[in-house]
Structure 1
Amino acid sequence: MKKGFIIFLFFVVSFCFAEEAALTGEALAGENEQPQLVPEVRPDKTGSEKIEFSEKPQDLQKNEDFAFLSFSLLTRERSVMISWKARPEGRNLILYRSTTAFSSITSLAEAVPIANITDDGLPFFDYPIPGIPYYYAIAEENEIASGKIQFINGINTINSPIEVFGSSEEQEKKHIAVQNRPIPLPFLNPSRHTKKRTEFFSSQTETIINALTAEKRDFREFIISSQRLEPYIFPDDKKTPDGGEGMELQRILNEHFYTKNWQKCKVELSNFLRIRRTSRVSARTHFYIGQTLFFQNLYDEALLEFLTAQDLYPSQAKEWAHYCLVELANFR
């Protein structure tokens, strides 16, 4: 009886020690094990201790200041390779070609836009007419709209012209034509003429001239005021149209352009260009949009539209682009 009781106590004590050891091991394991925390990105009140994604990368890119870093030209056979560097990339750029150097925004009225591209860092190849020296320049779309563009040699233009030559056969024909040119008639040599005595105005006349030239004048004295300009309609849009797109364009002009409802007309013409049109219809539509913006005194936006239509309608676009540039200069 006593022996059995002693054995029973032994088993009870052994079971208690085993359970206590198991609990102690779990406690030690819990102390040594680091809890896995799931980081949560949440902005605090100051924004200095936690990450705060408040702006998207695209928004940051838009807020970066744009600038051209370099501009260079290189002839390759009958083409001109135009290279540039700008920061940031991805902006809308316009390349220009002209027979005169680029000095200010007024130079764009004499230039021809050869490309409207999105900057991807790659050069552009132009194929000008051989034998004619050309100047090139590049501008960012927003710079043109603001009217605050400056042309700097080696940055966004080149002050010296560049020229490509034709094939060897064309050059040989040109050389033969020069050789066969008739002998010119004799001419007077101006250097041998006697110089005329320099004449001066009287002091009274000089005073009047100085007073007139010192007076500040308004550009509006030398141009037709925008209030006196009449909207221009191309002859193709006055006659019966041949196709469906011509009929639709004529309908918009009859309903809104002739009635001078410029805001509504601009919206209708922009919607009209959402569908791809022929080159001439598209150019005329851009010209009409430019007029609607011009008569709303939005001269910077109107200028871009006239420059877009300049390739196919150079005389009309050049005239209205000149009006825009003078108005922009007058309101500075």
Structure 2
Amino acid sequence: MNPNSIQKTPKNVQKKAKNAKIKKNMKSFLKPFSFILLFFLQTFSFAQDKAKSSSRPIVDMLCASAVSTDKIRLTWKLPQNFNAASILVFKDTVPVNSKSAEKLSPIAELSQKTQQYIDTVTDFNEYYYAVLAKLSDGTLYNVVLPSINATVKAVAVKRPEKARKKSEEQIAAETPKLYTDGTIRELPLPYIDLIGDFEKKPSKLSAEVVNAGKSLAGKTSIQKEKLEPYYFDEDITSPSGGDDYYLFEILKNSFVKKNYEASIIELKKFLSVNRSEETTNRAAFYLAQSQYFTGNYRSALTMFLFTQDTWPILCKKWINSTLDFYTIPKS
């Protein structure tokens, strides 16, 4: 055995141990700095991605809303450094995506700084929109992001309100009535305020009025025949909803079945809540008819007078019939 080799072995082992210790110390020393370095690298990468995404020609916050019976307004926001030659607006009856955008023709091409567009439509269909960028080389930047640069909710223009055809009563009420010489003008019926309790008992007639009424009743002979129930055109078919539908259900369940007692109860409940003027007038007229058919002529007369301004000719016929059946109470 070579004695030199025996002397070198301990030195080699000692050197290796020393190197391992140095490496271990270096790792411990550099470990905190590696985390800091990694943090800066990730931050730099995120900043690059953000700068890259902000330079993408994609509009943001696209919103579509109907503003009239034939116009839909589109609004959007432009990102910083919006690098596009122009802006293209697409429209379809289904949500627009990247695949369908390739087949669609834009409805408008706008300047790169535009942030709104008014679309004029000629129908009442529901539409979806997408706003995409056209690059300087003429190609479409076909990236469609729902709720970002494409709408996800359909929008349609507002339907115009249908002009209601005037009834004969309304035409007659608006037409000035001419009186020839010697003709006595018809006296207007008194105004009756119905705001209050429907169950309020009427005031008693004076003895003079009662006697005069009995005198007139004894001298006339009128063939009494009750009128047939009257229905307005609006209440013949079921409405889509709202107060009209509520009134339709009351009529269907009680008035049409000639259950006038139940009809009176339900119509009074209906009229106790604020409704539209048109629906209120119709409900009051049905209430008057229900009271007429149950023999409560005095209350019926009050309700017919309430609706006379709306349907003067129609109410006049029912008022006359109510007066025919009305019996003056005994004193």
Report the TM-score when normalising by structure 2: 0.35
The structure having more radius of gyration, on CA atoms, is: 2
Report the TM-score when normalising by structure 1: 0.35
